[in-house]
Amino acid sequence: MSRIARITAPLTVLHILFCYCSGSAAAQSQDKLIIAYSAISPFQVIVKVAEDSGIFGKNGLETKLVFIEGGSRGAQALLAGEVPFVVSDGASAVTSRLAGADTTIIIGLVNTFPYTLISAPDIKEVGDLKGKKVAISRFGSATDIATRFALRKVGLNADRDVAMLQIGAQNARFAALKAGSVQAAVITPPFTLTARKLGFKSLLNMVDLNLPTVQSAVLTTDSVIRRNPELAMKVVKSFIDAIHFYRTQKKESIRILKKFLGYTSDEEVEEAYNEAGLKLVPIKPYPTLEGIQLILQTLEQNNPKAKNRRAEEFVNVSFLEKLDRSGYIDQLYAKASK
């Protein structure tokens, strides 16, 4: 039976044991592993769907899910060998690899910025944020990069014109906005619905900018793949199956989503499912190379190592491509349409 642990501090003293089974041992028992996720949001719920629906088990995996708040912390746990797979943002994988790590993206769950930049009612437009405080999760995370893009659209420099504050998860960012500690924050559905009801102003829906990125992805390392490619294939197949389940089994998926987010409002969960799930999670979850290149261009300003790097260096889609070429994904949806 699987368990879920929530870890909100760096994993400096956590030594989680996971085993990779292969050969005849794999035929006798399931592979045991830990998968971390870095945000309690609709964009990472697919890992919980795979767990609660029994998909991991059907694919020969005995999993334990752990919550490690923030993409950069999730990447640190990955590199420390404390977890072999992390559901996080692509920016964390890119920045880690630029620093010399062997992180790689194997699945792209959401390939655009899904955020809405909201503000206190007295902030009328994005330009009014000059000199104000803006809440993000952590520096180098997707919320950081997305906010920089949005501010740049109106001629603001995130390092010079506003104070970017690392507040943490979106519930903490929203709480800081309500308390008046910051004047703006980036949030996702269903906080968007709550924000509207409380009178906060939606300054910019970043989905409308149609900016490619790797907002939510499954990360691992080259060393994990080398040690056990069969395990990596099981993980990729499980996420493909979970996406199919999420898109075709609405009632059960909403139940899982509601439990994952911890909301009691059916209206909020419905908004999260429709706006964050069906619209943004691709059937074939290839990470967008264009999005990775955009991340690199953003990082170039403060990190010279990002210059002249190719997006292909940061992904390994060989497992996804193998399943796709076999017709497996198409067959899943062909069966669902009958």
How many Å apart are CA 82 and CA 74, to the nearest integer?
10
pLDDT bin (cut points 50, 70, 90) of residue 29 is: low
pLDDT per position as a tens digit, 220-274? 999 999 999 999 999 999 999 999 999 999 999 999 999 998 876 888 888 889 8
Same domain, residue pair 227 and 100: yes
Structure confidence at residue 152 (pLDDT) = 85
Please give the single-letter amino acid code of residue 12.
T
User: Is the domain of 205 the same as that of 220?
Assistant: no
Q: What is the mean pLDDT of residues 11-21?
A: 39
Distance CA 301, CA 294 (A): 12
Does residue 155 share a domain with residue 39? no
CATH number of the structural domain spanning residue 49: 3.40.190.10
| CB 139, CB 70: distance < 8 Å | no
3-state SS assignment for residue 323: helix
User: Which of 143, 177, 209 lies at the terminal end of a domain, its last residue?
Assistant: 209
Q: What's the helix, strand, coil split of the chain in %, to 5?
A: 50, 20, 35
Phi/psi of residue 314, nearest 5 degrees: -105, 5
Residues 129, 205, single domain; the answer is: yes
pLDDT at 16 over 60: no
Name the residue with higher pLDDT: 5 or 142. 142
Helix axes 142-153, 289-299, angle to 10 degrees: 80
Domain C-terminal end among 152, 182, 209: 209
What one-character DSSP code corresponds to residue 274?
A: I
Query: What pLDDT, in 10s, does the model give residues 228-239?
Result: 999 999 999 999
* Greatest mean pLDDT range, 38-47, 218-227, 287-296: 218-227
Q: By the 8 A CB rule, do 189 and 42 touch?
A: yes
Q: Collapse the DSSP code of 222 into the 3-class scheme (helix H, G, I; strand E, B; otherwise coil) and give the result.
A: helix
- Distance, CA of 263 to CA of 257 (rounded, Å): 9
Q: For the chain, what percent of residues have pLDDT higher than 90?
A: 56
Handedness of CA 177, 182, 187, 192 (dihedral sign): positive
User: Which of 183, 209, 235 is at the close of a domain?
Assistant: 209
Q: Considering its fold, how many domains does the chain have in total?
A: 2
Report d(CA 101, CA 78) in Å as an integer. 10
Say what the pTM is.
0.78
Q: Are 185 and 177 in contact (CB under 8 A)?
A: yes
Task: Pull the structure tokens for residue 329.
Answer: 């994904």
The answer to whether residues 303 and 222 belong to one domain is yes
Answer with the residue of higher pLDDT: 168 or 218: 218
Residues 46 and 143 in one domain: no
Residue 280, domain extent: 4-112+212-337
Same domain? For 182 and 34 the reply is: no
118 near 177, Cβ under 8 Å? yes
Taking only the tens place, the pLDDT of each residue in 98-127 is 999 999 999 999 998 888 899 999 998 888
Spatial strand order of the sheet with 61-68 comes to 4-7, 61-68, 31-37, 85-88, 212-221, 103-112
Least confident residue range of 75-79, 133-137, 215-219: 75-79
Most confident of 15-24, 158-167, 195-204: 158-167
Structure confidence at residue 2 as a pLDDT band (50, 70, 90): very low
The burial class, CB within 10 Å (0-12 / 13-18 / 19+), for 68 is buried
Residues 87 and 184 in one domain: no
- The model's confidence at residue 337, banded by pLDDT at 50, 70 and 90, is low
3-state secondary structure 184-209: EEEECCCHHHHHHHCCCEEEEEHHHH
Same domain, 217 and 98: yes
φ, ψ at 85 (rounded to 5°) = -140, 140
pLDDT digits (tens, 9 = 90+) for 165-206: 999 888 899 999 999 999 999 988 778 888 888 899 988 888
* Residue 51: its H or E element: helix 46-52
- Calculate what percentage of the chain has a pLDDT beyond 70: 90
Residues 333 and 218 reside in one and the same domain = yes
pLDDT (average), residues 139-167: 87
**pLDDT recorded at residue 194:** 84
Residues 216 and 313 in one domain: yes
Note whether 216 and 330 are same-domain residues.
yes
pLDDT band at 1 (very low <50, low <70, confident <90, very high): very low
Average pLDDT, the chain: 86
Of residues 207, 160, 216, 159, the one with CA closest to residue 186:
207
Q: Any idea which of 45-49, 75-79, 303-307, 332-336 has the lowest mean pLDDT? A: 332-336
